[in-house]
Structure 1
Amino acid sequence: MIYTVTFNPAIDYVVHLPGSLELDAVNRTVQEEYLFGGKGINVSSVLRALDCENTALGFVAGPTGRWLEDGLRDQGVHTDFIHLTEGVTRINVKIKASEETEINGMGPQIGEADMEQLYAKLDCLKAGDALVLAGSIPSCLAGDTYEKIMARLDGRGVRIVVDATRDLLVNVLKYKPFLIKPNNHELGEIFGRELTTDAEIIACAALLQSRGARNVLVSMAGDGALLLDENGNTHRMGVPKGKVLNSVGAGDSMVAGFLAGYLQKGDYEWALRLGTAAGSATAFSLGLATREKIDALLNEF
């Protein structure tokens, strides 16, 4: 079974304006939609689209939390959220006008007792399961939360995927995560340099691998992706043709596709191909990737 963790889920309320956002005035929308967001939730949603069974873990609160939970279940995503007694799950307002503006909510506070409930759920994971830890840690939690989770599961045979940045990523390498997925800019930030060639990206990815990462997947937007696998092989994948409509969730979709592909065939080349197709399918869509879109793009490689 695959499990994802989203500490601070959100309902993204997306509004489209006909022109510019006018301050101190009434702005009327021409289109609206809402999306259930959070990096782990995005991974769960795309895994579900690929018919890959998984469970979304995390924290929800208040009526917005119940709405998010019910909405995900209606989409076929299995959830096992912890319900906080205070606060509400956040709503993020995304304004699509001549320029894009975002107002992100704060989210509820997560206490020590709440974290103990999460740890109890994670203690049930067994050898062969996979766990996805994606995104930043809320300010109400300790910055070493990922480390604590991985230390707790160390030696249990759980494949852990970490999609995070800077110290949050580097500090977990000692626990030998199955997969890490920085993009090329994030990889460069870790080493304080700009990476402009495949050779430079491979060299930095190899350094992270030498510190403990088993597989390093580097996404590069329109330039595709590069994988340095645990067997010492380098895999390079371009991207199919398409118009980019949305960058939100593309990296999460790549993680979902890669993990689904690896669990299907145990083959890293196939995992990278499916991951790249899933990431591109989201980038070429207004929402997250669908199975139909992913399958269509797979035929273009």
Structure 2
Amino acid sequence: MANAFSRLPVAVLSLNPAVDITYEIPKLIADQKVHAQDSRYDPGGNGINVGRGLKRLGVQACTFCVVAGEIGRFLRHQLEPQLDQVSYQEVDGETRINGTILESLTGAQFEVSGVGPAVSTAQWHHLLDQFVTHCGKGLGVITGSLQRDLPQDLYAEAVRRVQAAGGRAVVDSHDDLLRHAVEAQPFLIKPNRFELEALAGKPLSNEQEIVREARRLQERGVSWICVSLGAEGALLVTPSGVYKGEAPSVPVSSTVGAGDSMVAGMVGLLAQGASEQDALREGIACSAATVMQPGTELFDKATVDRLRGEVRVTQLSL
């Protein structure tokens, strides 16, 4: 295992954070009011979750995010104990609110993503400048959704700037944001199977097809491709080989934040110079520990430490 503290600087970009509200109810009933059995408020947004996860792992990182209005002030208050370093870009409007509904009788999960505030070109350029400067020759994590008025190639620009400055860009996004980012040749992307299928434009029915598509992305300049597979674990394709990590069997409370936790685990180990196998193992352990938590709460380190030994990583001859 790597040292307890990061050796490389880590920066996380979160242009569209949120306050997450989770309701646990027996069952949704159309046109009827349903009383929650439980509810909770958590800081949300993919980048925010990655930053929170890194802090829990003892990895120092700075998160760069946009906040707005009263909800933004509430978010800042929530984040005070959960992030070591934060750089806020204040804008007009209101930070978005995301909703998650968990049906206790069926196990179904419903998610609604809110609409974030408008961000001017000057504002996102300023935040991006800070993000790239802090990243330096370290790792820059670029993740999550964007407000509708922001350019779809913004993440591609962020990738190019991080890597031009000598850093390594890590992208976890989807659809056009991911498609454009791939053209900028990031160091690592972490799609799930559905997102990789959307990128490929076709279904990928088995490991061989997933690996084949990942290698096509390598030919286009992406060094590492980690494909998360839910309860099946994840596949990691790097220049040195193909690795399969099997997820431990754990009780599932909520899957929100599981992918962000995987990114946090992998980035935390990569910042400390760990191997592909150890980085994948850590990512899967963090993801498994998160699905055990209620709402959009993330893993606790003690559970990650316990699950790490249960994650089996093997090199495949594919």
The whole-number CA distance in structure 1 between the counterparts of 2:304 and 2:111 is: 28
The whole-number CA distance in structure 1 between the counterparts of 2:138 and 2:273 is: 15
1:117 maps to 2:126 = yes
The whole-number CA distance in structure 2 between the counterparts of 1:75 and 1:35 is: 11
The whole-number CA distance in structure 2 between the counterparts of 1:65 and 1:214 is: 36
1:28 maps to 2:38 = no
The whole-number CA distance in structure 2 between the counterparts of 1:130 and 1:54 is: 10
1:93 maps to 2:99 = yes
1:295 maps to 2:305 = yes
1:173 maps to 2:182 = yes
TM-score, reference length from structure 1: 0.92
From 202, 205, 217, the equivalent of 1:193 is 202
Match of 1:58 in 2: 65
Match of 2:55 in 1: 48
TM-superposed CA distance for 1:285, in Å, is 1.9
TM-score, reference length from structure 2: 0.88
- Residue 126 of structure 1 contacts residue 157 of structure 1 at CA under 8 Å; is this kept in 2? no
Aligned-residue CA RMSD (Å): 1.8
TM-superposed CA distance for 1:223, in Å, is 1.2
1:263 maps to 2:271 = yes
The whole-number CA distance in structure 2 between the counterparts of 1:20 and 1:265 is: 47
TM-superposed CA distance for 1:113, in Å, is 2.1
**Aligned CA distance change for structure 1 residues 102 and 167 (closer, same or farther; 3 Å):** closer
Q: Mind listing any 5+ residue stretches in structure 1 that lack a counterpart?
A: none
TM-superposed CA distance for 1:24, in Å, is 5.1
1:133 maps to 2:142 = yes
- Residue 72 of structure 1 contacts residue 78 of structure 1 at CA under 8 Å; is this kept in 2? no
Q: Mind listing any 5+ residue stretches in structure 2 that lack a counterpart?
A: 1-8, 312-318
Bigger relative contact order, structure 1 or 2 (CA pairs below 8 A, ≥6 apart): 2
**Aligned CA distance change for structure 1 residues 163 and 96 (closer, same or farther; 3 Å):** same
- Correspondences of 1:213-252 after superposition (within 5 Å): 213-229=222-238, 231-252=239-260
Q: Which runs of 4+ in 1 moved over 6 A?
A: none
Match of 2:292 in 1: 284
1:81 maps to 2:88 = yes
SS of alignment partner, residue 13 of structure 2 = strand
SS of alignment partner, residue 130 of structure 2 = helix
SS of alignment partner, residue 116 of structure 1 = helix
Structure 1 vs Structure 2: percent identity of aligned residues? 33
SS of alignment partner, residue 20 of structure 2 = strand
The whole-number CA distance in structure 1 between the counterparts of 2:287 and 2:146 is: 23
Provide the aligned length of Structure 1 versus Structure 2. 298
- Residue 138 of structure 2 contacts residue 271 of structure 2 at CA under 8 Å; is this kept in 1? no
